[in-house]
Structure 1
Amino acid sequence: MYSKEPLKIYVDFDDCLCETALSFVEIASRLFGKNVPYEELHSFNLQESFSLNDEEYAELMKEGHRPEILLSYEETPGASRVLNELIDEGHEVFVITGRPFAAYEASKQWLEEHDLSRPKLFFLNKYGRDFFYKGGEFNLELEDYYKMHFDYAVEDSPMAFGFFDHLPDLNVLVFDRPWNSKAEFPGANYHRCTDWDIIRDWIRKGGIK
């Protein structure tokens, strides 16, 4: 046994909790005949990865955010098991997603169906999307987000790394994905993790006094 202090943990939703990009591979193939293997998604920008024009990209995003599609996303192996273990150990988990707020109901339902009803869910406009709605109870305005403190963050998108600049002591656990395989990490506090068991071990190490 080891003594632990409570930690605050930021967790991204897509491609950390669920296999979103795998579904977009299928959608791009089905809608546009774009057959790009998952392993070749070397850009987080899906418009670039699938070589889509603006109209196609808008259609891709609309399809990928339909409630029935969101609910069909497969869980990333170990996500619910590890997060529930950490919560049981006294840590606090916040799911902070860049999804549009219109996806709230389906996102909340997905979490409940995957035994992840205890983490707090917030929507933060990480990517400047036009269809991100403001003013909702579960939306985070940037000024409110920057007042929050986290000890660990689990994130896959290099485009989101800038949201951690205000937390110099934060340990960022980068979930290993093709689109971040060549990313330059901003500092020594960034650590590449290939699965949720490794993430759990990093966080537990941080909880030891």
Structure 2
Amino acid sequence: MNIYVDFDDCLCETARYFSRLVAQMFGVDVPYEKIKYFNLQKSFCLPDDKYDELMIEGHTPGALLSYEETPGAVETINSWLDEGHDVKIITGRPSGVYDASRQWLDEHGLERVPLYCLNKYGRENFIKGSTFGLELEDYYKMHFDYAVEDSPLAFKFFDHLPDLKVMVFDRPWNKDCEFPGPDYKRCIDWKMIREIVG
């Protein structure tokens, strides 16, 4: 099996971190459970300048390395690798934070898994020509049987895979979204994800 796994809020608790960080930096009190939108600027009601400050602070190496693992993620992915499945972590993080992201994976026992920074959101700070930077045209040549994703904004990147089974990691910002089809299933934890893949 070929398995796509998103990084933030699937492997690690990114939004929980940002909920605490925005409170520390700007006194904005939006508990994790109240984050309504994948777009954190909208969820936290921040002007552009403060949102930029928040993103810069939250993407420093020290911050990225402090993100907590989502329970069960590492164990499940390593079990898939042991069973011979091909797993790729494909993130929308800018490629400038690749090194810290790679270090987080290695420190959490996921050194066997390749990491790609896919330009999902048209950001300008992607590093062209790197071994880990993935443009959409190259991504669309890949095949996956299963995907683990939390962001409704990323669902459109699965349209080229009509047989893909998408396991939507249950998060506050996807509670009310409509899934594109019957092959999308809400999963409350990694145990449920592991049972679906088998």
- Structure 1 and Structure 2 fold alike (TM over 0.5): yes
Residue aligning to 1:135 = 129
Identity of aligned residues (%): 64
Structure 1 residue aligned with 2:112, among 118, 126, 129? 118
Q: How many residues align?
A: 198
Aligned to 1:29: 23
TM superposition score normalised by structure 2:
0.98
Local SS of the residue matching 2:4: strand
One of 60, 68, 71 as aligned partner of 1:74: 68
Q: 2:93 aligns with which of 99, 116, 123?
A: 99
CA distance in 2, matches of 1:18, 1:62: 18
Give the corresponding residue for 1:179.
173
Structure 1 distance, partners of 2:165, 2:9, is: 19
The offset of 1:131, in angstroms, is 2.5
**Alignment-derived partner of residue 85 in structure 1:** 79
SS of equivalent to 1:186: coil
Gaps of 5+ in 2: none
Aligned-residue CA RMSD (Å): 0.7
Aligned to 2:155: 161
**Matching residue of 2:188:** 194
Aligned to 1:4: none
CA distance in 2, matches of 1:185, 1:24: 26
Structure 1: distance between partners of 2:32 and 2:106: 27
CA deviation vs aligned residue, 1:68-97 (integer Å, no higher than 9, x gap): 000000000000001111111110100000
1:148-198 deviation digits (Å, cap 9, x = unpaired): 000000000000000000000000000000000001000001000000011
Q: By how many angstroms is 1:130 displaced?
A: 2.8
Structure 2 equivalent of residue 49 of structure 1: 43
**Is 2:120–2:136's contact at 8 Å kept on the other side of the alignment?**
no
C-alpha separation in 1, matches of 2:77 and 2:187: 15
Report deviation, 1:22: 0.5
